[in-house]
Amino acid sequence: MIDQIIEGLFLTLRYDTFVLMALGLFGGMLVGALPGFTTLMAMAILLPISFFLDPVVGIPFLLGVYKGGIFGGSIPAILVSMPGTGAAVATTTDGYQLTKKGQSRKALDMALFSSVIGDTASDIFTLLMIVPIAYLVLQFGPPEIFAILILSIVIVAVTAGHNPLKGLIMLTVGLWLSFIGSDPIGGMERFTFGLFDLRDGIPLLPLLIGIFAIPEIAKIVGRKTTGSNSVASILGERLSRDEFKRCIRTICRSTVIGTMIGIIPGLGQMVAAVMGYTAAKNASPVKENFGKGELEGVAAAEAANNAVNGPTMVPLLTLGIPGDNVTAILLGAFVAQGLRPGPQLFTDQGPVVFGILIAMVIANIMFLAIGYVSIPFFSRIVTIKSNLLVPLVTMFALAGAYVYHSNPTDIIILAVFGVIGMIANAAKFEVMPLVMGFILGVPIERAFGQTLSLANGDFLNFALFERPIMVAILVATPFLAWLIRRKMYADKDNDKYLH
């Protein structure tokens, strides 16, 4: 393992990785800083660029966009009370109050430092934990993998949105979409309606760009927003050492919360930020200051949402389970690069995987430097005109959908999924369970088929006496899903933000 880590380090230490990662960070912060333009949209649109780069360059580039975007979202949250991303929703509460008090510079500095600390600590945790978890997963056979996949999709479905049934319906829609094409066991055609373009199934890339990026762009088109009129300005002194020291305990607590949430598929940054914020408020001796411009509030939310970034790679790399919508896009990047996530990835492509994980840690150091220098620039971006940006973003999205297969049909598929995403948004159906169902549909069916083969026609005896772990996971699935959902909405503060 040490050899692989060292080899991975050498793979990462190349100038183009650093340049592309810096570009990704800058681009992510830029998009995150624009209200209405999300990190998810940026990643979906920039995903195709990574296909044409080496894996240790292309994937760190996307990780840069991811990390930069999550922090970038806190800039408009603090300056104009408009979270650039969902992850920054809890930052708005105290961040904007600090701006009103003329202390926006302090709030932005605190957001940056706590983001970097939360992110770095969770990345190191990921680097240390991922190998033991991968070795554990290697001991699993198809029945256990099947049970874990079911557990993951159920957790994602029931924790997405207000109504768990709606999440489960979207999950089944995603599963059904994954059936289009050839079946993974016998290769028979299903639901292709005789269309040649559907024989290989629905392509992942246009689906991801269409369902994640297009509805966000369409929202701006529908509203015809021409840019924020708010004047974003950076005021006040920088963060002092004493103020930072006062928040260290909160940052550590939020980092732990974010890291734990990151491992569980489906919860993501927003849940982490809200839970980190609520925990900080409950632990504080000056609870009444929260919501009125408390620096600890900004630190708690930002450390927690950034601490999610690293651990979401654990289920992704070891089991091929994307923990949230951003890691679903990263999964697309891995697959396009010929890196099929799963325990075998560590034996087949160990150095590349470690190279990518090391790049995540290096990205944080660059993130600190770029963020510190460029905060004033990004604060100006908050007010840029959207009627100039939306056409460019649309062009990038369409070109991105086209380039992978050089097939214009992919653009039509993108538009169709854009419409599906918009309708889902309008009806308050979350799209993440659909994407999870689509991505994991084939692996689930394959694992289920292999399990039935192993059972040799006597599934009940096989499951109960030979594969008790599978049975235990399947039995525990509804209880675990219920417990996680209950924990998520237990606190009134959490409920307020998450709904």
Partner 1 sequence: MRNNVEMLVLITIAFLSLMALVFSSALIKQQQMLFGQPSISPDQFPNLTLTAMLIMAIVLLVKPLKKRWFDGKSNEEAPLDVDPDIEEEDEGEQSYLRLGAYFLSMIVYAIFLKEFGFVTCSAILVAFVSVLLGARNVLEIVSLSLISPFLLYVVSTRGLKVALPETDLIERAVQALFQFLGLA
Interacting residues with partner 1 (CB under 8 A): 48-49, 52-53, 162-163, 165-166, 168-169, 172-173, 175-176, 179, 183, 185-186, 188-191, 193, 218-224, 226, 385-388, 390-392, 394-396, 398-399, 402-403, 406, 408-409, 411-412, 414-415, 418-419, 422-424, 426-429, 445, 448-450, 452-453, 499
- Report the nearest approach of partner 1 to the CB of residue 163 (Å): 5
Residue 195 CA to residue 342 CA, distance in Å, equals: 32
Rg (CA), the chain: 22
- Report the nearest approach of partner 1 to the CB of residue 196 (Å): 15
- Report the nearest approach of partner 1 to the CB of residue 83 (Å): 15
CA dist 164 to 157, 161, 435, 486, Å? 7, 7, 16, 12
- Report the nearest approach of partner 1 to the CB of residue 6 (Å): 30
- Report the nearest approach of partner 1 to the CB of residue 130 (Å): 30
* Residue 287 or 385 having the CB closest to partner 1: 385
Name the residue among 149, 69, 6 with its Cα closest to residue 371.
69
- Report the nearest approach of partner 1 to the CB of residue 364 (Å): 26
Contacts 24+ apart (CB under 8 A), 260-264: 260/311, 261/304, 261/308, 261/311, 262/122, 262/307, 262/308, 262/309, 262/310, 262/311, 262/312, 262/314, 262/323, 263/311, 263/312, 263/314, 263/315, 263/323, 264/155, 264/323, 264/484
Any idea which residue has 């606190």 for tokens? 491
- Report the nearest approach of partner 1 to the CB of residue 391 (Å): 4
Which residues are within 8 A (CB) of 429 and not within 5 positions of it... i.e. 6 or more apart?
A: 161, 166, 169, 170
- Report the nearest approach of partner 1 to the CB of residue 275 (Å): 19
* Residue 233 or 383 having the CB closest to partner 1: 383
- Report the nearest approach of partner 1 to the CB of residue 219 (Å): 8
* Residue 182 or 284 having the CB closest to partner 1: 182
* Residue 112 or 422 having the CB closest to partner 1: 422
* Residue 92 or 115 having the CB closest to partner 1: 92
- Report the nearest approach of partner 1 to the CB of residue 11 (Å): 21
* Residue 229 or 406 having the CB closest to partner 1: 406
* Residue 139 or 406 having the CB closest to partner 1: 406
- Report the nearest approach of partner 1 to the CB of residue 398 (Å): 6
* Residue 171 or 313 having the CB closest to partner 1: 171
* Residue 83 or 418 having the CB closest to partner 1: 418
* Residue 252 or 412 having the CB closest to partner 1: 412
* Residue 35 or 311 having the CB closest to partner 1: 35
